[in-house]
Structure 1
Amino acid sequence: MAKPHFSFWIIAGLGLAWNLMGCLNFVTQMNPDAVAQMPELYQLIIAARPLWATLAFGFAVFGGALGCILLLLRRRMATVALAVSLLAIGLTVVQTIAVVGMAPSTFLALLVGAALFWYATIAQRSGWLR
């Protein structure tokens, strides 16, 4: 197995940090007490979100975190986990755009998810994953 470039560890680590922040956001949004402390607009958006969008949000962030952990462990399944995450991000983006329109954070989430998946495919092709 080939030794990864030093940037591999930085990218996978930053990706994990990004997705762990998403996991924290998800857990916070599942806590009614925390949601009650949010601005009214956020409360309305969270309350109106359909179950499929909430599930997609969970798959996006937890799948992304798992994918980055698997990248750090140099496992091929990282690509699958990040593909699932990217698909779930796409579903979340569709729902978010339908409710509030295109926001910079929505575009950023899609961009980061796509970049992590793309990088995992590069790592796999380069022989860095087993």
Structure 2
Amino acid sequence: MTKPHFSFWIIAGLGLAWNLMGCLNFVTQMNPDAVAQMPELYQLIIAVRPLWATLAFGFAVFAGAVGCILLLLRRRMATSALFVSPLATGITMVQTVSVVGMSPSTILALLVGAALFWYSTIAARTGWLR
């Protein structure tokens, strides 16, 4: 196993911060009092979201956070967790786009998830993960 480049730690750390913000967003959306304080459009999106989309949202953010933690621990399982994250994000996007249309934040979430998965495969091939 080789020592990772310093950028590895920056990318994995930023990825973890991104996904932890997503986890906080998910937990906030599960709190009815917090949802009541949100703008009307957000309340509508949350109210009409079916269970499958809520589950996909949870899988996306928590798999991403676990994947980034595993990446920081230099474990190969990070790649599997980071594969689930953009896949679940894509499932969530189906419902979100049907309610409000395509938005930059939706595209960004998918791109970040895919980039973290791609980076984890590079880290695994380079020998940075065990």
TM-score normalized by the length of structure 1: 0.99
Map 1:1-130 onto structure 2 (within 5 A).
1-130=1-130
Q: Deviations over 1:40-81 (max 9, x none)?
A: 121111010000000000000000000000000000000000
Q: Deviations over 1:76-128 (max 9, x none)?
A: 00000000111101101111111110000000001100000000000000000
Q: Point out 4+ residue stretches in structure 1 off by more than 6 angstroms.
A: none
| AA partner of residue 2 (structure 2) | A
Q: Structure 2: any 5+ residue segments left out of the alignment?
A: none
The alignment covers a number of residue pairs equal to: 130
| AA partner of residue 116 (structure 1) | L
Q: Measure, in 1, the Cα distance between the counterparts of 2:48 and 2:28.
A: 16
Two-structure CA RMSD over aligned residues (Å)? 0.5
Once the two structures are aligned, what percentage of the paired residues are identical? 87
Q: Measure, in 2, the Cα distance between the counterparts of 1:44 and 1:15.
A: 29
Q: Deviations over 1:10-57 (max 9, x none)?
A: 000000000000000000000000001111121111010000000000
Q: Measure, in 1, the Cα distance between the counterparts of 2:103 and 2:86.
A: 18
